[in-house]
Every structure is written in C-alpha cells, then in structure tokens.
Amino acid sequence: MLKDFHLSFQAKVIIPVVALLVFFLAIIVWLVNGRITDQFEGETRQTLRTAEAVFRNSFEIRTRNLILRYQSVANEPRFKAVALLSDPKTMIVQLNELLHEIGQEAKAMIFTIENNVMLAGARRDANLNLREFHTGSSFAISQASQGKPAADNIVVNGSLFTAISVPVIVNDALSGVLTIGELIGPTAAQELKLLTRAEIVFLASHQVALSTVKNPDSFPELVRIYNRQSGQTNRKIEGVSAGEEHFLCLAGNFPVSSGRIGYLLLSSYENALQRKQETQRTLMLISLAGILFSSLLIWVLIRKITRPLRELRDSAEAVGRGDFSRRVEVASRDECGELAAVFNQMTENLKTSQSEVQQAMQSLKDTQAQLIQTEKLSAMGKFVAGIAHELNNPLTGVIGFSQMLQESGISEKQENLLIRIVGSAERCRKIVQSLLSFSRRYRPERKPVDVNELLESALEILNHELTTSNLQVLSNLSRDLPEIMMDPHQIRQVFLNIISNTIQATEENQDGGKLQISTQLMKDQVRIRFQDNGVGISPEDLPNIFNPFFTTKPVGSGTGLGLSLAYGIVREHGGSITAESEPGQGATFTIELPAVQIGKQTEDFPAPEPQELSQTLPSAQKKILVIDDEESILELIREALATRGFKVDTAGDGDSALELAGNNFYDLVVCDWKIPGKGGQKIYEQLRQIKPQAVERFLFITGDVLSQNAEQFLRNEAKICLLKPFSVDEFRSTIEKMLTN
C-alpha cells in the first residue's frame, strides 16, 4: 500500500511550502495574538489608570464644589446671625431648614462651637446617628476650626459621607463650624461611573460600602483584591469576574483621616475582549485567506516551473519510444533551461549512439552472418573433405589401375577406352582436389610478395579477356604497402577468380563494365577491394556465394568452386574475404590479409612437386612395407611397385605392420595416415622405438587433409606425405627419389 503511495513533485514542493507557510503564519498569528492581548490589556490598564485619575480628580472637584457651596451657605448673613445667637433650638430649626433647602445628598448638618461642642444638628433620616457623625467628622471640624474649610471622608453607620466643615466667621471671629455630611451614595457613584466609565466600589473598614457592581456575590473577592492591593505601593492591575462580566480592577485609598476608606475601579474588558476576539477572528480569516491564496499562487508557480519538467517527461517518453526528433524548448536560462539543453544534447548523443549501436548491431549481425557462413563453410568443408577422402581411395584405385592397365599392354581400342576412363578419373580427381583445396588446411607456401605486383600480374594474365569484354579497370593502389607473406600462386588464383567473376557480371552492362581495384594498409591488415558496376548479387544469394558448387552462372559455364577456392585460400592465409552487394549496383569483394613481418618467416614445408618419372629405378629388390586399411590401395601399390621389381609386404592394420617391421628389414615404409586402430603417426612412433633405423625412409600417404598437428609432426620428422589420389607415376617417382636420397 505504502509502496504504491508516491507524491508528485508538485506535492513535494507544495506540501512543505504550505506547511511552512502555515507554521510561520501560526507563529505570526500567535505573536500578533499575544501582542493584541497585551495591547488590549494595556489599553484596559491605561483606561483604568485614566479612570482612576479622572475618578480622583472628579472626587476632588466634587469635594471642592461642596466646600464652596457650603461656604456660601455658612457665609449667609441669615446663618451668621443665627450662629451669633448660639441658640441650639434656633440653630436646629435653621439647620433643618438648610437641610431641606440643600440637595438630597446632604444627609446631616451639625453646628459646633468651641472645643468641638455640638450646638445643634439636623438630619434627613432618623436612623442617622448625629453623635456618630459628629465623632466621625471631628478631624474635619478641627481643621475648620483653624479657619479654613476642610473635607474628610468618613463612615457613619456603614455609609460613606463626605464631611465638609466650614468655619462660620462673624466680625473676624470664629463663631462656630458648620459641618455637612454629604452622602457618597448611589447617585454620586453613578455620576463618577459616568465620568470614569468604570465600575466603582467603595470600601470602608473592609466592607463594600457602595458599589455600582450589582452582583453582591463578587464582593468578597473584591474585598480580597482591595486588601491585597491597598497595602502595596506598586499596585498591580488584576482581573476579576463579577457574574458574567470580566473586569480588570485597580484599588486605591482616599486620603482620609481614618485611612480606612478605599475604592476599587473595575474596568470591564468585555468590550475589549469582544474586540480582541473579533480582531483574532479577522486575523485568522486573513491568515486563512493568505494561506489559501499563497497556496494557490505557489501551485500556479509550481505548475509553471514544472511545465518544462512535464515537457521533458513527455519528450523523454518519446525518446524512450525511439523518437529522437523531439526537442525540448529551452525557454529559460535557469536550471530548467540547462536541463532542457542537456536533455537536447543527450537526445542528440543518444541519436548518434543509437545510430552507432545500430551500426554496431548491423556489423554484429554481419559478423554473425559471416560466422554462420564460416561455420557452414567449415562444416561443409569437413563434409566435402570426408567425401573427397572417401572418393580419393577409389579414385586412386581407378587412376592407378587404369595406368597399370595401360602399362600392361592392351589393344588400341581398349587403350582408347582406358584413356577415357583415365580422363574421367582425372576430371574427378580435379574436382576432388578443388574440393579438398577448399577445405584443406595445409600451410601454403610462404614468401614475401608485393600485393600490387601480384594484382598487376593477374590483370596481365587476364588482359585478353578484359579487353574483349570491354571491362575498364581502375586501379587505386597504395604504394606504401608492406610485402606480405603468402603463396603468390594461390593468391593470384584468388584474384583471377574474382576478376573473372567480375568480367562475367559486367558483360551485360550497357555503359561498359568498370572495375575499381584499390589496396590500402589498415593497421596490420592489407585490404584489397574489388568494386564493379555489374549486375550485383541478390540478397538471398549473398550468403551462399562461397558455398562449393553454388553458382549463378548458366549451367556449364561455371563449377561454383571459384569463390569457394578463393575463400579457402584466403582463410588459409589467415585473412578474410567478404562480399557486399546491392542488386543492380554492382558488387564489392574485400580481401583482408594480415601484414606479417618478414622476420617471422617460417620454414617452408616443401610441397611435393610432381617429378618426371625416373626411368632409372633404384636398385631393385628393395623391400617395401605398405600399410593401409584400404585393400584396393594395397593392391594397387603392390602392383605398381612389383612391376618395378620391388618386394612389397602389406599390412592392413598397425599391429600386423609393427610385427612385420619388427621382424623384417624394409628399405621403405609406406603408411596411410588414417588407419583404424593405430593411426600412421602411432605406427611411426612405435616403430621408431622398436627400430629407429626402420623409420628413416618412411612415406605417408593420405586421402585426407592433414591437420596442423600432423603437418607439424611431419615437419619435425622431415617426412613426406603423399596426397591421394596420386598417379602411379607420381608415386613411383616419389619412392625412387626417397630411395636414392
């Protein structure tokens, strides 16, 4: 499952980028959130501080206004007159009257004279204890006794009052002090709340005396906060919740005589909270939108960036299919562009290497074809050699016995018949020899030869045919060719065969035939090339042209052995011969021969040369042992030698031969190379062990092609091998030659 799961390049880019984006945005949002929170809290704090300033200021102004107001009351002549009277009852009436004249918040009035003695008092509510009020306001009264109005905040009966004491001065003498108790009540609190825009809580003796906060459940908490803060110099604003609402609150104290009156300002940050949340929401929305937008943008960009990649992919696919014509557009000069350029270069290289590969494939195929050809030819060679070998023995018999018959003196008519027999046999022998030379592996005669000269001599030989068949020969011979070790006769034969083929192939050309012969040195090979403009070779014939008996010539005009012979010869020389042709475009034969250095010349293996039959026979009565498994050959040799006066013993196999040779002395041993059981080589070796002098004159005969080892052996032992089919004369002369040496 997971193995199949793979991400596209786009996803690989987008996912991390978006993840990073989200991560950064989250961080930013978090930071901004923190900032916003701080800001809002800071704002609320600031608001609170401002509120406190406003609160204190308003309170002071209120006090001042009250003082002014009550000063004017005290300065009224009427009141002064009453004050002068020092009559409690009159004063009480007066005070009551004043109390009703003055606003609702004035709850008590007392008039004190010297030594803080209360002369008269008036109160709005019956449950207000005037004595208590008097006691509470004694500080303000004492202040006012100095001649200056004073105010103090006091607690009477759990309620807060501002006690304003005003000196009543008549005729530059203090006649008494008028003290008014102005209730700090809900009205005042509401006014202050309006001014400060904060909830206000007054505390007296650790009790909530007055509060604009309606929820009494929160009072204990508020008292706790007040108690916590009021003692500190560095007041900390802290949060508190009253009911559903959240507040930040700040505690403070009034500068009062008793020092037990304080206040708490509660700034609701419900709005701030709401605004904060709105801001956060907005921020989140913007962030989300930003993320979406960025992702989209990145996606588009990635699409744009990966477009060359996709094109490259398509092109690569096309190239993979083998379409090398595809090119990627190099649109930009960045990595993609470079990649495209490199890809194009790669395609180019691929194209060339593809063609190279194709060429290599072609050459491989050719080589393979050649190999097959070679194999085929060598198989055929073996087969042909087998046949030839099989034919050789009977042919030797036919030729030998025919000659013998001729020698035995017969009528002319029979002579004529015999001549025919011999002629036919000769023809057979030639065919078999050609076949053998196609398949034969004997080492040709080697001597340094100039290829160009050899070519020229071949052309000279064929000069007559060339001119009559109107074939124009163009030579392009390289002059710096080294001399090559070869058998000049055989190689000339090869050239002759090829050129005569060319003559035939170009006979029907209207413009006259053309043959271009070129030689050149290729590393350690000399290449000889024959190019003509003849009829060419059809593709189906091309693999078969080196086959023996394969011919395209009309019946009777060719044996089909010319090129087979050439092939055998060239291969013997360690070279190669190939033919290329397009039908109707002429053919090209290429011969490559190894340019072997002259110093490497090996010892010649002298080919047996047919000699003139020596009439002078060596001393007769020589004993000759003939070993062959072929009865007819034994018979023939015995006949042929017996007629010359030799004494011939024959052996059909190796054991009997060794026995004979061990027991008798022979001047010469003729031994077939191939004998079932012990072969010729083995017989020779065993005989050498038994009787070394017996192998001094030892002639091998064979109807087969000699192997490399056999040749090597023969060279080492300096022994001659006579190839079947041989004529009786040939055999005799060889024998005689050996015996005379």
Partner 1 sequence: MKRLFFATLCCLIFSGTLDAGTIRGRVRAESRPEVKEDIESGKYESRKYKFIERINYDELKDFVVYIDEPGLGLSHRQDNTLKVIIQKDGTFRPHVLPVLIGTTVEWPNNDDIYHNVFSMSEPKPFDLGIYKSKETKRVTFDKPGRVDVFCSIHTKMNCIVLVLENPFFAATDKSGNFTIANVPAGTYQIRAWHERLPGQVKNITVTETGESTVQFVLGVTGLPKY
Contacts with partner 1, residue ranges (CB under 8 A): 77-78, 81-82, 85, 87, 89-90, 92-94, 97
Q: Least separation, in Å, of the C-beta of 75 and partner 1?
A: 15
SS3 7: coil
Between 119 and 340, name the residue whose CB sits nearer to partner 1.
119
User: Which DSSP helix (H) or strand (E) runs through 112?
Assistant: strand 106-113
Between 81 and 419, name the residue whose CB sits nearer to partner 1.
81
Q: How many residues does the chain have?
A: 741
Which residues share a beta bridge with 721? 700
**Do 267 and 247 touch, CB atoms closer than 8 A?**
yes
Q: Least separation, in Å, of the C-beta of 98 and partner 1?
A: 11
Between 120 and 213, name the residue whose CB sits nearer to partner 1.
120
Q: Least separation, in Å, of the C-beta of 86 and partner 1?
A: 10
Q: Least separation, in Å, of the C-beta of 82 and partner 1?
A: 6
Q: Least separation, in Å, of the C-beta of 109 and partner 1?
A: 16
**Do 120 and 110 touch, CB atoms closer than 8 A?**
yes
For helices 631-642 and 335-407, give the axis angle rounded to 10 degrees: 50
Q: Least separation, in Å, of the C-beta of 141 and partner 1?
A: 24
Residues contacting residue 247 through CB under 8 Å, at least 6 positions apart: 199, 239, 240, 241, 266, 267, 268, 269
User: Structure tokens of 523?
Assistant: 């590393």
For helices 412-439 and 335-407, give the axis angle rounded to 10 degrees: 160
Residues contacting residue 466 through CB under 8 Å, at least 6 positions apart: 459, 473, 499, 503
Q: Least separation, in Å, of the C-beta of 123 and partner 1?
A: 18
Q: Least separation, in Å, of the C-beta of 90 and partner 1?
A: 4
**Do 738 and 618 touch, CB atoms closer than 8 A?**
no
DSSP character at residue 262: E
Burial of 433 (0-12, 13-18, 19+ CB in 10 A): middle
Return d(Cα 702, Cα 192) in angstroms, integer: 146
Between 88 and 394, name the residue whose CB sits nearer to partner 1.
88
Return d(Cα 501, Cα 513) in angstroms, integer: 12
Q: Least separation, in Å, of the C-beta of 191 and partner 1?
A: 29
Mark 570-584 as b/e (b = at least 16 C-beta within 10 Å).
bbbbebbbbbbbeee
Between 94 and 196, name the residue whose CB sits nearer to partner 1.
94
Q: Is the peptide bond before 725 cis (omega within 30 degrees of 0)?
A: yes
**Do 649 and 624 touch, CB atoms closer than 8 A?**
yes
Between 110 and 625, name the residue whose CB sits nearer to partner 1.
110
Q: What is the dihedral of CA 695, 698, 700, 706, to 10 degrees?
A: 60
Between 78 and 148, name the residue whose CB sits nearer to partner 1.
78
Q: Least separation, in Å, of the C-beta of 93 and partner 1?
A: 5
Q: Least separation, in Å, of the C-beta of 145 and partner 1?
A: 24
Between 78 and 214, name the residue whose CB sits nearer to partner 1.
78
Between 83 and 155, name the residue whose CB sits nearer to partner 1.
83
Q: Least separation, in Å, of the C-beta of 229 and partner 1?
A: 49
Q: Least separation, in Å, of the C-beta of 111 and partner 1?
A: 14
Q: Least separation, in Å, of the C-beta of 281 and partner 1?
A: 55
Between 43 and 87, name the residue whose CB sits nearer to partner 1.
87
Q: What is the dihedral of CA 540, 545, 549, 551, to 10 degrees?
A: 70
Between 89 and 413, name the residue whose CB sits nearer to partner 1.
89
Would residue 494 be called left, alpha or beta, if left means φ above 0 and alpha means ψ between -120 and 50 degrees?
alpha
Return d(Cα 642, Cα 637) in angstroms, integer: 8
Return d(Cα 137, Cα 152) in angstroms, integer: 7
User: Structure tokens of 558?
Assistant: 């060719």
DSSP character at residue 258: S
Please choose, from the candidates 494, 580, 496, the residue with its C-alpha nearest in 3D space to the C-alpha of residue 537. Answer: 580
Between 82 and 184, name the residue whose CB sits nearer to partner 1.
82
Between 92 and 195, name the residue whose CB sits nearer to partner 1.
92
Between 95 and 694, name the residue whose CB sits nearer to partner 1.
95
DSSP character at residue 580: E
Return d(Cα 9, Cα 17) in angstroms, integer: 12
Q: Least separation, in Å, of the C-beta of 177 and partner 1?
A: 19
**Do 605 and 693 touch, CB atoms closer than 8 A?**
no
**Do 82 and 113 touch, CB atoms closer than 8 A?**
no
Between 89 and 479, name the residue whose CB sits nearer to partner 1.
89
Please choose, from the candidates 20, 8, 31, 7, the residue with its C-alpha nearest in 3D space to the C-alpha of residue 295. Answer: 20
